[in-house]
Amino acid sequence: MFEFPIEIVALLTFLMTQGVKGLLDLFDKDMTGFTSALVAVAVASLLSFFVGVIGIFPIEAQEGIIAAVQLIGVILGGFGIHKTYKGLSPS
């Protein structure tokens, strides 16, 4: 059965949450405080849901689905890394 290690889930949750924040910043939407916590919970829940649901698909289809979800994770993670780096660098 496919499963992410807990460290990877924590890192993906952080980076994807930062990525969602970065995307919302592009549209001048502020996501701080309680909203940020809700997005982090939603991202972690979606990752857990994905791990559970992937098992119902045939092995051949799982590889394509995992690749698609990884692509989404990489894109959101890229936004997250950019937002985190931008927050750490001096103005």
Residue 52 domain-assigned (yes or no): yes
Q: What is the pTM of this model?
A: 0.63
Residue 78 domain-assigned (yes or no): yes
Contacts of 43 (CB under 8 A, 6+ apart): 12, 13, 16, 17, 20
Residue 36 domain-assigned (yes or no): yes
Instruction: Report pLDDT digits (tens) over 17-67.
Output: 888 888 887 888 777 778 778 888 888 888 888 878 888 888 888 888 888
Residue 11 domain-assigned (yes or no): yes
Dihedral angle sign, alpha carbons of residues 7, 11, 14, 20: negative
Distance, in Å, from the CA atom of 54 to the CA atom of 62, rounded to the nearest integer, reads 6
Instruction: Report pLDDT digits (tens) over 60-91.
Output: 888 888 888 888 878 888 888 887 887 777 76
Residue 1 domain-assigned (yes or no): no
The encoded tokens of residue 4 equal: 């992410």
Residue 72 domain-assigned (yes or no): yes
Q: Which domain holds residue 29?
A: 6-88
Secondary structure (3-state) at 1:
coil
Residue 71 domain-assigned (yes or no): yes
Q: What is the tally of structural domains in the chain?
A: 1
Taking residue 45's Cβ as centre, other Cβ atoms within 10 Å add up to 11
Please report, for the chain, how many H helices and E strands are present, in that order: 3, 0
Residue 59 domain-assigned (yes or no): yes
